[in-house]
Structure 1
Amino acid sequence: MTAELPAENTKPGGLRLSHALSHFGLAVLLLSTVLTSSALATQGTYTPPMLKGDLDIAYLGGVGLIQLEDRSGSDQPWYEVASYAEQRHGLEFRGTFSPYHGIAVSLAIPILMHRQLNWKQGNGFHYDPVSARPTLAGGEALQPAALETSAASLRRFGPGDVRLGFRIVPFAQHGLPSRAAPINLAFDIELRFPSGANPIDTREDGSGFAGLGGPGLRLGATASRQFGPAEPYLSLHYRHNGGYEVAGQSATATDETSFTAGDSLHLGVGTEIMAFHDQEKGRWVRMDLQLTASYLGPRDTVSGLQLPTTLAATLGQRAKISERVEAGGDFSLWVSPTEKLALHFDIGASWLSPHSVERHSTNAYSVRTRNGSIGLRWGAGVRAHFR
């Protein structure tokens, strides 16, 4: 779907793989094997023990169930004009190392295996003489062959944007020598490098790339406190996406030549619960429940990538996807059968606010997502502890 999957976590629906596989944000948890049974930490405040590390391999999947609506005039009712399911499947490899107590450095490499809009139905544009503009409302239904060959049906795959992260935990309830405190607090800085190309350019065979285009920066903070087997937490993250150039695109009326994926702000509230813990054998089972709310700013695109069809006059022209809000929830189950290994299974869902999918400075389409469009996500992975 046009809204990112959560990844960075992504959250296009925004289901995303980064954000990096960035817009799907999966809440997870881990237990440091060198700490006592009370020395637990949420994923948002966790770091490996000093001079130790972890290796994560995770599968991230998702689907956006999106409906589009349009109207013939500002005083006319909205009608459903198209619908699609955006499928996304990818892998992420992440290594984390702690050079000192409460400090961690990580490197994440996402691989997008498949991302595509599968159109279920869609209308064609026609000119409405009353509103004096093109509209999909009342348009003729497109044939399946036309939907399959639409520019918006292109398949994306390949390596994504590499991310380098730094985490600092200034104090915690347990595990940090001489830095004990009533709560756990962590600060995150993550740099994203444009190694996955951009979402607009295509290969010679017509397929698309996995990257967000320009460089990126994520700043975040997470606070948690343990109460018996439960550890509630609060997290806040801001993501900035830098500009990038698109082949064949000239300057706009404002002399802007670069495109951007838009900035975003993410709030998470949740709790992790230790359901089982065998400290002697290093085995445990832990659950994570999280509610999320996100604001995603407007981002640039070109005409034809978000709609089942478009007019020849606007095809390939610069356009903009409007700002939107997402709200969702995630559940993660972590199982550690040994001190050296942890497995996790994740599911989540998001509601997407209605938003325009293609706005032009000179020729505005009024198509927007319909209320009730949702994103679903799932994942599974393994983490190896090097102790």
Structure 2
Amino acid sequence: MGGRGRELRREIAVLIETDLTGLPVLVVGPAELVGAVARRYRRAGAVVDVITAPDGLTPELRDRVRLAVLVGTASTWSGVREALAGRCPVVREPAAEVTRGRVALVGAGPGGVDLLTVAAVRALSDADVVLTDRLAEVGDLGALAPGAEIIDVGKRAGHHAVPQSEIERIMVQRALSGLTVVRLKGGDPYVFGRGGEEVAAAVAAGLPVTVVPGISSAVAVPGSAGIPVTHREVSHVFTVVSGHVPLDPRRAEALVHLGGTLVFLMGMHNLVPLTTALVRAGLPEETPAAVVERGFTPDQRSIVGTAATLPDLVASAGAASPSVIVVGEVVRQSEVWERRSDSHGVRSGPVGVA
């Protein structure tokens, strides 16, 4: 594991107040009981081996181990106990109650491990299975969810390699088999993330389910470019809109009448019809507008213009998803607006982000 992996491991270890980095640990016990214990020690940085049968202890493993954990009935495995006696400390753990498994929907935020919540890190560290999205870019998932099965179920515009029904089937099937399943989703699970549908699938299967909120890209990504979605005496309301389908005239009129800031997610392929509909509904053509592309990544950049000029600027810059579209006077408050003339409306890199 690279330097960043070791750093992640140390961050995770803080959550359980013990750093066992590099310590060889042996977890012994029935297969259905040892998983959670092994994860806990891996989370603290230990190098963990697992044996699930009384005859599984080899001489090489016996000589390497510096801490042994006997789980449940493993404390009665006399051969293992005798082989380890006097060689290393031995900890006995009672068998935890076996459950049917559970599901956790976890928001990954707009990108990067530093924007995961503490609750999200804890949920990942306990996972047996992680179903992850394309937009859930948190770096080394193997370090965050040690020993977990990682399944990529990411969707792209117009291409759903794993249909939603199949995602829910896998999630429920793994949890019913007794595993802890984390459904990792970009942003927040309940902001255009189909989180409600996945919670309903888990509840229908009789599974316990929790939802860990995530930082929504609707607010964070504009903020990373210095664009506040609200600003005193400029905008006291913001509306988050799914841009995956064009606006019909009635909805466009309602949004223009409401005023404030408009934030469109998943709308890059509809940028022209979205801005056209707003202008036709009465939005002034000179209204400031911006696209923030690949927020919180080294490739982040902002394309800044007006409701009338933004589509051409975006096309000239070759910008693509994932991007967040912001329309409203708040764009004028940002540093990217002040510098828009320096590069024909294009500004690279985050603003005011360490």
Range of TM-score over shorter length: under 0.3
TM-score, normalised by the number of residues in structure 1:
0.23
Q: Which has the higher strand share?
A: 1
Comparing both chains, which one has the higher relative contact order based on Cα–Cα distances under 8 Å and sequence gaps of 6 or more? 1
Q: Find the structure with the greater CA-based Rg.
A: 2
